[in-house]
């Protein structure tokens, strides 16, 4: 497998995925290069949405497809925003409005624990009965004041206490080494090496 389609149009995700797949000599192209329409994500779990996106992209392109579904899960909010992370504040998608809503929801909450979760699914073809599945979790806590210029999404509000930095204060390589997406991609890369 030397070429695959990534079932996403998120520039931040595409950059991170391409960077981690590079050593495997796998060329990854976004589904937008093939005119693939966005896939509905009606499910309440990351894995179901992810599998739907991978199958959708593969069926439209005839290529193996890699999908990622990820979001932030906040303990005090019973795991919300969860699968709704990208659209937490409604349409159109807006990182700024999502972050505002999250901070407002946490007013008065002492428990600020949160984690990013990522699941990745790779299908070789649309009806692949054995998709490769990998996941990662990145633990931290939510702060009220954003810090850092990097990353995307909730990263400026996601503090890593052991580092004293937010996700947005990390360099790309540093973030990929520890992030939920980096963990999931490394697990997926290991599976690709073992199973082809």
Give the domains, in start order, of the chain with CATH numbers.
Answer: 3-195 (3.90.950.10)
Find the distance separating the first CA and the last CA of the chain, reported in whole Å. 7
Q: Which of 33, 68, 69, 127 is catalytic?
A: 69
The whole-angstrom separation of Cα 128 and Cα 108 is 47
Whether residue 33 lies in the annotated active site: no
pLDDT at position 26? 85
User: Nearest-CA neighbor of 166 among 179, 147, 183?
Assistant: 147
Whats the size of the chain, residue-wise?
A: 196
**What is the rounded CA–CA span in Å between residue 121 and residue 135?**
9
**Strand 165-166, strand 3-6: pairing:** unpaired
* pLDDT digits (tens), the chain, 196 positions: 688 999 987 777 787 788 777 888 888 899 999 999 989 889 999 999 999 999 999 999 999 999 999 999 999 999 999 999 999 999 999 999 999 999 999 999 999 999 999 999 999 999 999 999 999 999 999 999 999 998 889 999 999 999 999 999 999 889 989 999 889 988 998 888 876 5
């Amino acid at each position: 497998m030397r070429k695959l389609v990534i079932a996403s149009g998120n520039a931040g995700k595409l950059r991170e995925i391409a960077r981690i797949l590079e050593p495997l000599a796998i060329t990854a192209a976004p589904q937008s290069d093939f005119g693939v329409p966005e896939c509905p994500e009606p499910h309440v779990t990351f894995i179901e949405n992810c599998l739907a996106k991978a199958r959708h992209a593969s069926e439209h392109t005839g290529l193996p497809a890699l999908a990622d579904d990820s979001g932030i899960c906040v303990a005090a909010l019973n795991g919300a925003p969860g699968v709704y992370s990208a659209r937490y504040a409604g349409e159109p998608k807006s990182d700024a409005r999502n972050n505002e809503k999250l901070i407002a929801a946490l007013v008065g909450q002492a428990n600020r624990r949160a984690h990013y979760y990522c699941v990745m699914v790779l299908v070789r073809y649309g009806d692949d009965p054995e998709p490769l599945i990998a996941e990662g979790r990145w633990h931290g806590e939510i702060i009220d004041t954003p810090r850092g210029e990097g990353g995307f999404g909730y990263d400026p509000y996601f503090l890593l206490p052991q580092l004293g930095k937010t996700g947005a204060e990390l360099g790309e390589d540093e973030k990929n080494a520890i992030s939920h997406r980096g963990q999931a991609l490394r697990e997926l890369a290991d599976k690709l090496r073992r199973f082809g």
